[in-house]
Structure 1
């Protein structure tokens, strides 16, 4: 995405968690603990992937994308489709995106990536005449 910055990939943490489970240092109940609201969001609003769950290996994981930011107002904390993010990146100065992978079969969930989007303009950026600056 054109304005993507501040990317944090949680792949190493995911691999460590899966390895801890497979080595017996963690119990399955410790990693397959998705909140019912997250499971519902995955079922109703999530975006299916072609990647199998690293825990049960039977069900493909679903991505649930949340957005947060002061400029978002009532939209902050909501689930958004990836296709909506392009328009939002043009409309808002800055907001953070969090992508969570969820297995609807075994309740595995893990934050996969987070990043910042936005056009970089401060909220209410206006010119000397009080009009909003043109892009």
Structure 2
């Protein structure tokens, strides 16, 4: 499973945190995770060793969503690393979006995205 076409949203994260520290962005606006995202983090997320950059109370949780024309009913679904490996063997191409979530203060930010899949998008794969 080799990710390709990787997009890192680290600069946007740093900008949002700088706006939060300067008062240009309120904590309510920065920490606005929807209930569905918080549930996804709680039940399907992967806990990291990185503390929340806002509240520093708990480690961040990573939630992965998959999107792609070939995915059918799996399009838009939350997935874990093991499931991603299986999907990468089964599907030609799909995009993974990784969101970091704080389950304490509701901070959330798109961390990165990348493409997975075996690369053959023909109907018989």
- TM-score, reference length from structure 1: 0.89
Structure 1 segments unaligned to the other structure (5+ residues): 126-131
Q: Which residue of 1 aligns with 2:79?
A: 80
Judge conservation of contact 1:9–1:114 (CA < 8 Å) in 2: yes
Is 1:55 paired with 2:54? yes
After superposition, the C-alpha distances for 1:13-54 in whole angstroms (9 at most, x for unaligned) are 000000110011111011100000000100111110010000
Cα RMSD for the two superposed structures: 1.0
Greater Rg, structure 1 or structure 2?
1
Q: Which residue of 1 aligns with 2:26?
A: 27
For these two proteins, the number of residue pairs brought into alignment is 125
Runs of 4 or more above 6 Å deviation? none
- Whether the 8 Å contact between 1:32 and 1:109 is mirrored in structure 2 is yes
Show the 5 A alignment for 1:48-127. 48-125=47-124
- Give the C-alpha shift of residue 123 in structure 1: 3.3
TM-score (norm 2): 0.96
**Is residue 71–residue 123 contact of structure 1 (8 Å, CA) maintained in 2?**
no
Unaligned runs of 5+ in 2: none
